């Protein structure tokens, strides 16, 4: 099974419990063979690189630059087809979303990574929580459910992928 990671997984990990200074093994596990069935979007990488800090000041940017190139997946013809389905789902009249929420969603990285997960039959890993009645924002887990994509929180994904962190 393929896993696609939302940007918030990397940002939260780097700024909290998996900081580069205290959990380097976590980052090596992602970067190396531990995640042969995992990937993330090139759009995720662009979000990581969009921050105001230089690579020298931001270890997450430096890490992203060193990850194998096939970890960052591009859109495919199948992704574009999945975008059409996802757009139709988001714009359906029975959805509770405001027009502005749908417009923001369709212009977001979230939209693209959900479509990539749909196209690849992948699981999308995110910290976002479902809020199906929210009107002002389309949440990743709700959009995933709407188009038949499985979403998991990071800890469930790490367990599924076999992550084991041992103190040195």
Question: Dihedral of CA 7/10/16/21: which sign?
Answer: negative
Q: Check if the beta carbon of residue 112 is closer than 8 Å to that of residue 79.
A: yes
Q: What is the 3-state secondary structure (H, E, C) of 30-56?
A: HHCHHHCCEEEEHHHHHHHHCCCCCCC
On whether the pTM is more than 0.85, the answer is yes
Q: Distances in Å between the alpha carbon of 14 and those of 11, 20, 24, 59, 107? A: 5, 6, 10, 8, 26
What pLDDT, on a 0 to 100 scale, did the predictor assign at position 57?
A: 85
Of 126, 162, 140, residue with least CA distance to 13: 126
Please state, in angstroms and rounded to a whole number, the distance separating the CA atoms of residues 74 and 41: 6
Tell me: the pLDDT tens digits for 87-126? 999 999 999 899 999 999 999 999 999 999 999 999 999 9
Average pLDDT (37-53) is 81
Q: 101 or 37, which is more confident? A: 101
Residue range 81-85: mean pLDDT, rounded: 97
């Amino acid at each position: 099974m393929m896993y696609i990671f939302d940007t918030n997984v990397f940002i939260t990990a780097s700024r909290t419990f998996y900081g580069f200074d205290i959990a380097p093994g976590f980052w090596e596990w992602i970067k190396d063979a531990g995640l042969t069935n995992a990937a993330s979007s090139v759009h995720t990488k662009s979000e990581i690189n969009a921050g105001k800090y230089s690579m020298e000041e931001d270890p997450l940017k430096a890490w992203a630059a060193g990850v194998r190139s096939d970890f960052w997946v591009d859109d495919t013809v199948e992704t574009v087809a999945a975008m059409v389905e996802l757009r139709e789902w988001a714009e359906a009249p029975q959805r509770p979303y405001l027009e502005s929420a749908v417009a923001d969603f369709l212009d977001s990285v979230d939209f693209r990574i959900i479509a990539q997960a749909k196209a690849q039959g992948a699981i999308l890993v995110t910290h976002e929580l479902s809020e199906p009645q929210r009107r002002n924002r389309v949440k990743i887990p709700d959009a995933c459910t709407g188009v038949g994509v499985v979403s998991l929180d990071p800890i469930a994904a790490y367990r599924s992928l076999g992550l084991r962190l041992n103190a040195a």
